């Protein structure tokens, strides 16, 4: 169960032997042991990937839609078939429970199926015009895409970009995370084994700043797609702007949860806790600031603590585990720092708050009450299993607090009033809003942020917009 595959770059239809290439260690976050290595692309590797993507685009855009569809449906079938093994590898290098990991792989196959069929309906239109003139609008693939993805969803994250780009007719170079490389390679292998032409999908790893600088600067790349932190997103957007490249940015958030006076506090707490500790809180849409009406505060907090204490923390390969370790030492340090800051300034740890005395990057699921509004965790995205709970008396005050940060990715509200739900929907500044639940992204609807949380959408028909060029053609008949 502990075997870890050899990781390779995939460029121009070939898996490149790591050889003596510079590499980085891959760590199992549940044990802190090195389980493998990831090869780092050289400048020459990236040049080869760019040329492969250029040629791959020419091939793929000229491939009949029916043929593209057939290949991509085969890839979706392979992802579904291989989901248990993809999940096992994901758990080894990222830490999430095996059930979550295999479920992520299965869901991403459905995401691919959605984009395959949606791309077949990326229609243009004919516009009524003058006699002897045909005025039309066409939608065409934008070209080779450079995509950059993080480690928190090692198969779902890359595939949101791969599936949309390839369905639209684009080629892609994807720079996946060096912390979860084998999962990304297993995903790419599904496309390769399905019969994808060489060069259409290329996988590289490397020093992020160097890889992004080389790929974005190349005239081959026509779109930059990124998921990650706000500071890195701003840097990549600025770099792309210097060479007039469009970008798709899905950046971080700090999602507020507003529990209104008429909500069921126990139901709201259980649903919110389930979402909070999914993937150990390492989700950009994770509920992370809990604003609860004072009349429900104690009932909500008690129910949230009870749900938290039912979580079983352990190695993701153990079937009993419901929350694994944090993915790396950086997230563990952040969890400790944010908890210590809140306690030092008056917050109460109702449960958790400590690193267990064991190997691995584990941190106990933590609930904080009596949290001052000016502590770091109320303004800094935790990306960890930390839940600060703050009371409010007036809904307008809660909305002001929820909207006070520069982030605007996800938000959540609990109420039994249709009028209050409409007020939350109208006034919360977020690109994704859930009422009476904390559900995640779905492939049939758009996801994306406002303000510093980015722009562009992934999922739903809107996902294709970034990967297609709209061309107006005015054809005057002779």
Tokens of 191: 């496309």
Instruction: Examine the residue annotation and report whether 444 is marked as an active-site residue of this protein.
Output: no
Exposed, middle or buried by CB within 10 Å (0-12, 13-18, 19+), for 225?
Answer: buried
Give the active site residue among 190, 260, 284, 438: 284
Residues 6+ apart with CB under 8 A from 44: none
Instruction: Examine the residue annotation and report whether 250 is marked as an active-site residue of this protein.
Output: yes
Tokens of 137: 């609008």
Exposed, middle or buried by CB within 10 Å (0-12, 13-18, 19+), for 103?
Answer: middle
* Residue ranges in 293-357 assigned as alpha helix (H): 297-309, 329-344
Give the active site residue among 100, 104, 179, 250: 250
Tokens of 426: 């109208």
Strands 287-293 and 386-392: parallel
Q: Provide the greatest CA pair distance for the chain.
A: 82
Is 452:253 a contact under the CB 8 Å cutoff?
A: no
Is 336:103 a contact under the CB 8 Å cutoff?
A: no
Separation between Cα atoms, residue 107 and residue 159, nearest integer Å: 10
Separation between Cα atoms, residue 443 and residue 457, nearest integer Å: 11
* DSSP, residue by residue, 402-462: HTSSS--SEEEEE-S-HHHHHHHHHH---SEEEESS-----TTS-B--SGGGEES-BSSGG
Exposed, middle or buried by CB within 10 Å (0-12, 13-18, 19+), for 306?
Answer: middle
Is 434:421 a contact under the CB 8 Å cutoff?
A: no
- Per-residue exposure over 422-457, b if at least 16 CB sit within 10 Å of its own CB, e if not: ebbeeebbbbbbbbbebebbebeebbbbebbbbbbb
Nearest to 107 by CA among 79, 85, 88, 73: 79
Catalytic residues: 250, 284
């Amino acid at each position: 169960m502990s075997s870890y595959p050899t990781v390779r770059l995939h460029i121009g239809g070939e898996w490149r032997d790591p050889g003596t290439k510079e590499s980085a260690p891959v760590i199992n976050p549940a044990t802190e042991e090195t389980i493998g290595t990831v090869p780092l692309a050289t400048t020459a590797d990236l040049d080869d990937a760019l040329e492969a993507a250029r040629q791959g685009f020419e091939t793929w855009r000229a491939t009949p839609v029916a043929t593209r569809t057939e290949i991509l449906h085969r890839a979706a079938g392979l992802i579904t078939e291989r989901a248990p093994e993809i999940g096992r590898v994901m758990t080894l290098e990222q830490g999430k429970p095996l059930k979550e990991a295999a479920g992520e792989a299965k869901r991403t196959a459905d995401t691919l199926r959605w984009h395959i069929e949606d791309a077949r309906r990326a229609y243009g239109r004919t516009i009524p015009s003058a006699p002897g003139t045909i005025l039309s609008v066409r939608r065409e693939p934008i070209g080779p895409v450079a995509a950059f993805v993080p480690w928190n969803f090692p198969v779902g994250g890359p595939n949101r970009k791969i599936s949309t780009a390839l369905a639209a007719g684009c080629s892609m170079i994807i720079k996946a995370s060096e912390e979860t490389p084998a999962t990304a390679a297993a995903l790419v292998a599904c496309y390769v084994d399905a019969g994808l032409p060489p060069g259409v999908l290329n996988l590289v790893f490397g020093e992020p700043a160097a890889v992004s600088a080389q790929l974005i600067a190349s005239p081959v790349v026509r779109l930059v797609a990124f998921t990650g932190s706000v500071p890195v997103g701003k840097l990549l957007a600025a770099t792309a702007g210097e060479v007039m490249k469009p970008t798709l940015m899905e950046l971080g958030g700090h999602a507020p949860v507003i529990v209104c006076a008429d909500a069921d506090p126990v139901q709201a707490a259980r649903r919110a806790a389930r979402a909070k500790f999914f993937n150990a809180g390492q989700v950009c849409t994770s509920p992370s600031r809990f604003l609860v009406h004072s009349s429900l505060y104690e009932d909500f907090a008690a129910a949230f603590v009870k749900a938290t204490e039912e979580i079983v923390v352990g190695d993701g390969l153990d079937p009993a585990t419901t929350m694994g370790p944090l993915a790396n030492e950086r997230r563990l340090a952040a969890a400790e720092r944010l908890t210590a800051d809140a306690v030092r300034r008056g917050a109460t740890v109702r449960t958790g708050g400590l690193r267990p005395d064991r190997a691995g990057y584990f941190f106990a699921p933590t609930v904080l009450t009596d949290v001052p509004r000016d502590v770091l965790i109320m303004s800094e995205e935790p990306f960890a299993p930390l839940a600060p709970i703050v009371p409010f008396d007036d809904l307008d005050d809660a909305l002001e607090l929820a909207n006070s940060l520069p982030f605007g990715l996800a938000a959540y509200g609990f109420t039994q009033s249709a009028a209050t739900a409409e007020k939350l929907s109208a006034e919360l500044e977020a690109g994704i809003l859930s009422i009476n639940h904390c559900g995640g992204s779905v492939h049939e609807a758009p996801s994306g942020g406002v303000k510093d949380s980015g722009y562009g959408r992934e999922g739903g028909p809107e996902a294709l917009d970034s990967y297609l060029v709209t061309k107006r053609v005015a054809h005057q008949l002779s």
